[in-house]
Structure 1
């Protein structure tokens, strides 16, 4: 629809023109009316109509004076003049202002419709030309920016680039380059990418904040003003987040820093790409810049305060945590494992592989005696493979924790008595493992002394005594099957044969060899 502003000092004529024809059917809409020349100037400035129909005779500022002012501001504005028979000669003077036509009062419907039909064809042609010009200007501007980012020009072409920058409206006091990477569960559809770029144009380019351009596989933002404060950075990040939220996309945004010349953007681009390639190691929720500290650097300072990364110990704890059903402890262990790998200076791929191995081992071991998990093996396997997809450490940990929660669905943790019974069941099935009360207390979220008292109250035995008795009973069974003493010792969890001998004699009253001879 093309917007029309009606200007006449007589209210009846203004209202008559508004209702005389079906403007919408002709491709127009009456945006507003004005009762005098000064009001018309103010509304033209605000509404920017495509067509104005102006009365030639008005008190104060007459039609010709108004048209003169309008032409000073906009030489392309289309204008139709309203005049009475007595004013016709006077109206001819308006020819110097490139008037599109004259309408005599009272206005004839067919005459007005004829003018509007012809003008619509002109307006359509102008709109098409403007779109072509805009598209060509945008294409030329993007080519210029990409040329500067890549540094793909001879040294003697700097002056030509500066001239092209002036023609493209890109001569600014400074430039700050941002690259935005959009992340989706599947490959990002080209239509979604184009939509997101248009939204960036609306938020940044049309608001006069900078220029938006393609920088595959990123969307580039060239800001007019450098981000000199946390407030400025947070505002830009929030605006990008709001756009990404429309399509439920995660994203990473990096800054290559500020430069004073367009031709120096090659340096900013190199910095931005380097930071983008390291995005896995940065916290989400902010623009990543040269001064942003990576997560692994923060944790490296704490390395001396923590035990070295022990994947076997963490894997065993995670398995026990899952088996007992302590969801919060399992999620915490995932975070602990990730931080341990960061402190050990693991690469992104090494961390993802480490997490996959950890979760595969724990869930695989749990699946051996959990029928309900065996039925969901395919579903959980897909989730494990998906752990290679997250683009940041934070999203990886969230994905691991979500997968653990899914694995534990339907595995009831129960109350205190239920927890002790789970411990007993766990001992019966894992007696050969290096089980410690402290480890179980850790995965259950209890103080070890308190858990030991609960266990003694429920079973009548201390934890270590109970574990020893289970192991010895299992050892007797293996000896009855004809296994050698050293084999039995290892099979029931004793790495030292002499220690096994002493425990066996304590609870059976004779040595394993003597028992075997019976």
Structure 2
């Protein structure tokens, strides 16, 4: 864990930072707190933290004086400074001491967490460099690290090649592959080193390149391009084997030909990792990795329509309500395409699906005329949306949940109504039954009830009614009743019309059936 000391004269802010920031999940632990700079000097001497979060304005000794004192004493610490808007000019003086972050009060939790994440990555890099120095491997890997960082100004190419030669990195081509572990921040650094150790025999032992840790990634620099699908799949399987069961995302940044372009391959790989949510899973990603949805599926949805989300909610609800299960997955993919066409990022797409799911569940619950008791299952599903690592999995899980939810929610209301409707037809088949009449009785539209009926029985309403009437007619004919009497008894005023219907469904006339 990375140790942190908080220095601020406001008890509310000190306590708030200690309780509201998810320190452990970010890989940090708060070891102490102080009320001013002078008190902090003693605390820092005692607990030796890695990071100090300090307010600029404090009594006795302010934050700037404290930073000056520690820097002059040669203490290598990472500072995140806090200040009010009015203190900006004053705070700028602290920046020259190389502070790691600058936060304006009141502190935003998300911004602070992001700043801490950046600090953690820097500390992990420094620790890794120290480990390399102790093992004698610093020259080669340190040089690789410098090649991964974009340069403000490209040096003389000959100088780059000279450095590469000294580090035994003067190759005919280069391809960067990065591996990002799906693991908590607190566990990541050790896991990256373990993965690196597992990959070295596979990569370095076979003279395929070198392996290093460059937080938050394990990085491979390959000396031969990953030509063809088979080679990429082989490498992905090797990564899977070395990961020891840990979930990961791996991406290549493509081939470059000179050392000074290695950083471009690295940056391309980073971009691919950040877009992993929208890509196919269980494969080595790259600059041209296929997205989950093809462009042809979303071209027609590019226009920004504020009513589009409501339309998806209605279509999903309507399809689930009438039992048209086959429509749900295509509708969810259509919604995903729409969100992507609007340029939504991973977090926003998940929020959109959360809203969509919640609205559909609410409508289904209200429409079933029952009290849904499994609220815990709904909460787990909705919260689980934000844990999904791939859009493909999110869509599949949402499809599964909505189908199951709709099936459960209809058992008390709509299913009972459908049974009532079938029983009504069986008892009143001889009457002048019309779909519109039943729809009115059940407070549905005729179009809606017709589709519901078709999905439940596999037959249109009039066809189902005809088959019930013909079945009853066969019973009456077997009892010896005359054809015209049977026609009237089952609801056909016209004997010829009855004759045609009977022959259509039975393949023979009523008279032939009677004489069997």
Q: Give 1:397-408 correspondences, 5 Å limit.
A: 397-404=395-402, 407=405
- Partner Cα separation in structure 2 for residue 284 and residue 160 of structure 1: 41
CA pair 429-261 structure 1, distance change in 2 beyond 3 A: farther
Greater mean deviation of Cα atoms: 390-399 or 291-300: 291-300
- Partner Cα separation in structure 2 for residue 341 and residue 177 of structure 1: 31
2:285 maps to 1:288: yes
- Partner Cα separation in structure 2 for residue 429 and residue 135 of structure 1: 84
Correspondence for 1:171: 170
- Partner Cα separation in structure 1 for residue 348 and residue 225 of structure 2: 36
CA pair 148-323 structure 1, distance change in 2 beyond 3 A: same
- Partner Cα separation in structure 2 for residue 400 and residue 271 of structure 1: 31
Match of 1:268 among 265, 268, 271: 265
- Partner Cα separation in structure 1 for residue 331 and residue 417 of structure 2: 19
Q: CA RMSD in A?
A: 4.6
TM superposition shift of 1:433: 7.7
2:295 maps to 1:298: yes
Deviation string for 1:153-187 (max 9, x for gaps)? 86557656544433433222111111222335x65
**Corresponding pairs, count:** 322
TM superposition shift of 1:352: 2.2
TM superposition shift of 1:148: 0.7
Deviation string for 1:343-393 (max 9, x for gaps)? 565444443232111110111222346698732213322321221333432
- Partner Cα separation in structure 1 for residue 135 and residue 446 of structure 2: 72
CA pair 316-153 structure 1, distance change in 2 beyond 3 A: closer
Q: Give 1:310-349 correspondences, 5 Å limit.
A: 310-323=308-321, 329-343=327-341, 346-349=344-347
Tell me if structure 2 keeps the 8 A contact 1:373–1:407: no
Correspondence for 2:103: none
- Partner Cα separation in structure 2 for residue 175 and residue 346 of structure 1: 33
CA pair 183-175 structure 1, distance change in 2 beyond 3 A: same
TM superposition shift of 1:283: 2.4
Tell me if structure 1 keeps the 8 A contact 2:200–2:211: yes
TM superposition shift of 1:194: 3.3
TM-score normalised according to structure 2 size: 0.51
2:213 maps to 1:214: yes
- Partner Cα separation in structure 2 for residue 445 and residue 187 of structure 1: 50
CA pair 455-203 structure 1, distance change in 2 beyond 3 A: farther
CA pair 382-171 structure 1, distance change in 2 beyond 3 A: same
2:241 maps to 1:229: no
* Structure with bigger gyration radius: 1
Unaligned 5+ runs, structure 2: 1-130, 424-437, 470-516
CA pair 265-427 structure 1, distance change in 2 beyond 3 A: farther
Correspondence for 2:353: 355
Unaligned 5+ runs, structure 1: 1-131, 461-518
Deviation string for 1:110-141 (max 9, x for gaps)? xxxxxxxxxxxxxxxxxxxxxx8896344443
Correspondence for 1:194: 193
Matched position secondary structure for 2:253: strand
